[in-house]
Amino acid sequence: MTNGFAHHDLDTVPEASRPLFKHLLETTGRNGFYAVLAESPQALEAYTRLHELFSATTLNNDEKTVVWQTINVENECTFCVPAHTFMARMMGVDDAISTALRDETPLPTVRLEALRTFTLLVVRNRGFVEDEDVSAFLAAGFTHKSILEIIVGTAQKTISNYVNHLAKTPSDEKYQQFAWTKANKRDTDL
């Protein structure tokens, strides 16, 4: 337990969460975030459904990773940044993209940078994005559908980032090689 949140396994998971939790264990392996989230069957189902929906968007794997990691880094989620670095590698995303996202340095293409910038505007301004910023995003080759898909990704990451902050979820062993600290925090810790 961290911060009072249980980290469930198959022996302790609430009955209503058991079928989905068991499926997640079988398909993704042990995951501390799911172990916490399973306390609420609704939270577990909401997150996994949002993940499925965002994964099915028109955004390609590089673009999905940009949305996820932009939000994870902005929200300083020390569980999610390593987890999505691991996932990005599994999805075939170039390590240069992951590094740029983690370090908040320029991305390799103008299109990906436009996606990161727009995602940050959505998150920082809680959806109140100026018309000229929407126009710039659309001019980068994205669509209004892309904007709505970013909102789905934002909803997904809000659940995981906030739960991991509240529960102080420790990183899973498989993600520890990708441990992360926000760049400006690394600088002040020196």
CATH number for the domain including 150? 1.20.1290.10
In a domain, 188, yes or no: no
Number of domains making up the chain: 1
| Residue 149 resides in a domain | yes
Residue 189, pLDDT > 80, answer no
Sole residue written with tokens 């940050």: 120
Mean pLDDT of 79-88: 97
Q: What are the backbone angles phi and psi of residue 2, rounded to the nearest 5°?
A: -130, 130
Work out the average pLDDT over 122-150: 99
Average pLDDT over the chain, rounded to an integer: 95
Mean pLDDT of 40-56: 98
The answer to whether position 1 is within a domain reads no
Residue 26 belongs to a domain = yes
pLDDT reading at 190 higher than 50: no
Q: Over 60: is that where the pLDDT of 128 sits?
A: yes
- In a 10 Å sphere around its CB, with 0-12 CB exposed, 13-18 middle and 19+ buried, how is residue 27 labelled? exposed
Residue 43 lies in domain: 15-182
Residues 17, 105: Cα–Cα separation, whole Å = 40
Is residue 6 a part of any domain in this protein?
no
- Give the Cα separation of 156 and 171 in Å (integer): 19
Question: Average pLDDT, stretch 119-144?
Answer: 99
80 found inside a domain: yes
